[in-house]
């Protein structure tokens, strides 16, 4: 996803000199082409994300389109006050790019795990949150990121090189994409879990559970109309995310269901409200949190049996 983002941003920046990339001293192997060919539109701000965010705010005030890029914990948590006060409060046109969604940096430990970022930024007024699920959505989301006016965060995950789409879907901020239709249950998946959602849906189909899969590439604003439609048309709703079950997609969908008032079977599937007590590669960390395809399938089956 990082490479697709970088390539797409470079293409856009060649045509629009207002686009300025600010980097927190990482991204080597990904950003070199942008750095080498557009040096006047790039600044390495060092390991100083708070300063980088302030610089971005100043550039936005001067009419530029600043894009700040760093690992998710450092570009959403270390500089949260600056995002809140400098960017969102003033409704500045700053783009925040976080890499390493979920357990992407699993072996680095809790300091690098990105499992709270959506919840942290979702509470901020004016903030738009994008969480593309594959390389196609990443390319389309990057374009939408730049076209959107106002604070916007994009969450990038692992580097899957296979798209879940045969052709480009209609991508619109705030509108989910139905990847697969079904009439029994709906799975709303986001970010790194869209690929797994496809595999889960096929596993459930083998058990004669007709499964609708929706990619929620936008967490804020949420596609409330689509959620309500799925409540009416399917018997159960599940959310799937490599993020804490608190504050992320599951919480957002739960809020819609609660306020809508129509009873429906509902289950959040994500990272439990705890620090994972093991360290390892992403798949190992997902297994420790019940997020493998087999574990997710079993969880859904157990809910449906009840």
> Residue 160: pLDDT above 80?
no
Side by side, the strands of the sheet bearing 95-99 are 42-44, 19-23, 65-71, 95-99, 152-156, 128-130, 218-220
| Same-domain pairing of 15 and 136 | yes
The predicted structure's pLDDT at residue 161: 64
Check residues 208 and 158 and name the one with the higher pLDDT.
208
Task: Enumerate residues 6+ apart whose C-beta is below 8 A from 147.
Answer: none
The predicted structure's pLDDT at residue 168: 94
pLDDT in tens, 270-295: 999 999 989 999 999 999 999 999 99
| Same-domain pairing of 182 and 151 | no
| Same-domain pairing of 54 and 198 | no
User: Mean pLDDT across the stretch 63-81?
Assistant: 97
User: Mean pLDDT across the stretch 236-264?
Assistant: 96
In a domain? residue 101: yes
| Residue 81 pLDDT class (50, 70, 90 cuts) | very high
> Residue 121: pLDDT above 70?
yes
pLDDT in tens, 192-242: 999 999 999 999 999 999 999 999 999 999 999 999 999 999 999 999 999
In a domain? residue 167: no
> How crowded is residue 133: how many other Cβ atoms within 10 Å of its Cβ?
29
Side by side, the strands of the sheet bearing 211-215 are 177-180, 211-215, 185-189, 236-244, 265-271
Q: How far apart are CA 138 and CA 7, in angstroms?
A: 11
The predicted structure's pLDDT at residue 159: 61
CATH number, domain containing residue 146: 3.40.50.970
| Same-domain pairing of 102 and 183 | no
In a domain? residue 136: yes
| Same-domain pairing of 95 and 8 | yes
In a domain? residue 163: no
The predicted structure's pLDDT at residue 158: 75
Burial class of residue 159 (count of CB atoms within 10 Å of its CB; 0-12, 13-18, 19+): middle
| Residue 26 pLDDT class (50, 70, 90 cuts) | confident
Structurally, the chain folds into a number of domains equal to 2
CB 95 within 8 A of CB 76: no
The predicted structure's pLDDT at residue 192: 94
The predicted structure's pLDDT at residue 27: 76
| Residue 162 pLDDT class (50, 70, 90 cuts) | confident
pLDDT in tens, 89-110: 999 999 999 999 999 999 999 9
| Same-domain pairing of 14 and 145 | yes
| Same-domain pairing of 131 and 20 | yes
């Amino acid at each position: 996803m990082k490479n697709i983002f970088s390539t797409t941003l470079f293409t856009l920046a060649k045509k629009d000199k207002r686009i300025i990339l600010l980097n927190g001293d990482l991204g080597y192997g990904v950003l070199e082409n942008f750095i080498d060919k557009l040096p006047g539109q790039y600044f390495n701000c060092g390991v100083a994300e708070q300063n980088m965010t302030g610089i971005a705010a100043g550039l936005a005030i001067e009419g530029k389109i600043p894009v700040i890029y760093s690992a998710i914990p450092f570009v959403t948590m270390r500089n949260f006050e600056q995002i809140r006060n400098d960017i969102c409060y003033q409704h500045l046109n700053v783009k925040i790019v976080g890499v390493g969604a979920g357990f992407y940096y699993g072996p680095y430990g809790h300091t690098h795990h990105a499992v709270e970022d959506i919840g942290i930024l979702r509470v901020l007024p004016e903030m738009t949150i994008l969480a593309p699920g594959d390389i196609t959505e990443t390319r389309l989301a990057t374009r939408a990121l730049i076209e959107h006016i106002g604070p916007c965060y994009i969450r990038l995950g692992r580097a899957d090189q296979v798209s879940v789409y045969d052709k480009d879907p209609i991508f619109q901020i705030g509108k989910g994409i139905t990847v697969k239709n079904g009439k029994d249950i709906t799975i709303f998946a986001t970010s790194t879990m869209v690929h797994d959602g496809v595999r889960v849906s096929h596993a459930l189909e083998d058990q004669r559970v007709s499964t609708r899969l929706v990619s929620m590439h936008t967490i804020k604003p949420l596609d409330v109309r689509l959620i309500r439609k799925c409540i009416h048309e399917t018997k159960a709703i599940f959310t799937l995310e490599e993020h804490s079950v608190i504050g992320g997609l599951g919480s957002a969908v739960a809020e819609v269901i609660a306020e809508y008032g129509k009873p429906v079977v509902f289950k959040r599937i994500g990272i439990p409200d705890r620090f994972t007590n093991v360290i390892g590669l992403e798949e190992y960390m997902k297994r420790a949190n019940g997020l493998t395809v087999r574990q997710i399938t079993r969880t859904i089956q157990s809910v449906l049996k009840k």
